[in-house]
Amino acid sequence: MSTILDTFRLDGKVALVTGASSGLGVGFAKALADVGADVVLAARRTDRLADTKAAIEAMGRRALAVTTDVADPDQCTAAVEAAMAEFGRLDVLVNNAGIADSVPALRQDPDEFRKVMDVNLNGTYWMAQACARVMQPGSAIINIASILGITSVLMPQAGYSASKSAVIGLTRDLAQQWTPRKGIRVNALAPGYFESEMTGEFAEGVLESRVVPRTLFGRLGNAGELDSALVFLASDASSYMSGLTIPVDGGMLTN
């Protein structure tokens, strides 16, 4: 007899995670494997995918590492083709690849702004397109947006904030197009500030002075605290949800 917990399982399914070479992407890949999925690991830094691949295989799941720059539509298509050749199906996409900027708007180089948009927004779109072409009804796409797509924390991140706001809008539109016609659910997570490679690039003391006081918990998030929300959106536990963005922000939006 099936239980509510069974709806969170991904046994027999295949997930593709972009940006899987470090940070939150590694945790996402392991979380999906933990609930039964085989995982395709996509990132530019292929050498760093080896450890993630080994960890997933040690959990008893299959893993495939594919060098992928999501800003290139052809590489997104190639990653999906590799997944289909290896596993014969693709059920979940986690659009996690992203880069940040932290430059005052009047000093930002145009190429730097374009690069952030090209990876965070365009790359999300190209990979979603490539996956949706092969996904079957019941599949799920989870776009990793950001709380900065909804609010601000008085730090100069124009490119990042703009790209993540756009990802939220993109999520709504793709859900409107693909859920009725293809049966693909498209949702987004909006993380607050978590301990990761990206947040480690901020100057010392910035997060403690500007971000932590905005949270209700008085701390940054731990990477694992996003995993359960991700599994929820990837699994049948969220079978009646599409077009939504779920903040996991430590209460920043209420403070």
Residue 211: DSSP 8-state? I
* pLDDT score at 188: 98
Has residue 18 got a pLDDT over 70? yes
Q: Which among 54, 171, 191, 75 is positioned nearest to 121, based on CA atoms?
A: 171
**Is residue 160 flagged as an active site residue?**
yes
DSSP string over 184-221: -EEEEEEE--BSSTTGGGSPTTHIIIIIGGGSSSSSPB
* pLDDT score at 196: 65
One-letter amino acid identity for 53?
K
Sign of CA dihedral 151, 157, 158, 160: negative
Query: What's the whole-number mean pLDDT along residues 80-93?
Result: 98
Query: Angle at CA 131, nearest 5°, toward 234 and 169?
Result: 70
In this structure, the number of other CB atoms found within 10 A of the CB of residue 207 comes to 18
Rounded Cα distance, 208 and 105, in Å: 23
Rounded Cα distance, 208 and 227, in Å: 23
Sign of CA dihedral 221, 169, 228, 134: negative
CATH superfamily, domain 4-244, is NAD(P)-binding Rossmann-like Domain (3.40.50.720)
Query: What's the whole-number mean pLDDT along residues 207-218?
Result: 85
* pTM reported for the whole predicted model: 0.94
Distance of alpha carbon 183 from the chain centroid = 20
Query: What's the whole-number mean pLDDT along residues 192-215?
Result: 75
Has residue 52 got a pLDDT over 60? yes
**Where do the domains of the chain lie?**
4-244
- Of the listed 125, 160, 193, 240, which one is catalytic? 160
